Amino acid sequence: MGGAPSSSTDRAREYAFRLFLAWLNERHGRSFAPRGFDGDVWRAGDATAGEIAGAVAELSEADEALRQAQDGAWRSRCGRLAARLDETRPGSFLLWQPPGAELPAGEPEESDWVRRVVLAASKLASGRGGEARLPVKLALGKVRDEGGYASVTGGLGRHWTDISARLQGSFYLDSRGLHRFTRDEAERQQLFEHIGLLSRGLSAGDIVEFEHEDAWTVQRLPRGPAATGITDGWAIAGCPPGFDPNDGGAVRRLLRRRLGEAAAALAGPDTAGAARALVLIGAYDYMENENAGPSLRGFDPALAAPFDAIVLVADAEVRALRLSRELAGPAGGTP
């Protein structure tokens, strides 16, 4: 199987490939297991379905001006925090850092962050995901008595209509500290109601700060054939400084480049006869907000032609952007 990953980034790529195999095995009745790593190519095999040669790439990239400095510092911090998490709670875990969120840079924040992430991970069975809750501060201000809406910035921006429905007057809500809102619908409604209650005590010009929790996805790698030869350890996948995954133009340019790089890596004679797969690690807060699929559909089909599978792994989910009938098998069909 090769040596253990040398960094959190390397381990995140390994885990993304294993998650693709686990998804393929569960969804399409396969039994693919990793068979090794050679240069830029991951290999897997199934006794009846044949072999897969896969390339793994991040669908995110730091801004050129930040790449050497901040991106390097971010990756170094990922590695240090992954090591601390592994010391505290050993196992095969992948933590997804939401876009715009920052890793702790010192104490006592770092120890509290580790404690909260480990608390979430300790509740997970193999193959399951959860949310690590991290404290954030929000601010609600009243602009005037007239109206019935809120101008919302930050992580709650998509929910401005739900929030506005509970307000009497015109408000602004600063939720820039919140980078990923929980998926728990009951908790979402509780926060909306709480904001409504806070608003009733405000006069025009008043501002009130209140606390809430960021919800970072953490997952435990599944067992089964896809876990063959795995070496336990934590990995942190996320969005490097200066990259916005919602910027469609940047994603299209990067996706086009990743397709070309992967096609070249998988074009050698050693991959002859194997199904060829590109596994992309997305930096999205939720899989439903991914824009890689629409971008791919807008490309020249020749760019995707070298691949039997193009899959996106993000926020503890796997989504097929392209999957051949041969790889999916008789029970195939993409989600």
Residue 332 pLDDT: 46
Nearest to 204 by CA among 150, 145, 139, 138: 145
Residue 333 pLDDT: 44
Residue 104 pLDDT: 93
User: Exposed, middle or buried, 235 (CB in 10 Å: 0-12/13-18/19+)?
Assistant: buried
Residue 70 pLDDT: 61
> Which residues, given as ranges, of the chain have pLDDT below 70?
1-6, 63-71, 330-335
pTM of the model as a whole: 0.92
Residue 64 pLDDT: 59
Q: What is the pLDDT of residues 46-63, one digit of tens each?
A: 999 999 999 999 999 876
Residue 241 pLDDT: 79
Amino acid at 317: E
For residues 325 and 309, the answer to whether their CB atoms sit within 8 Å is no
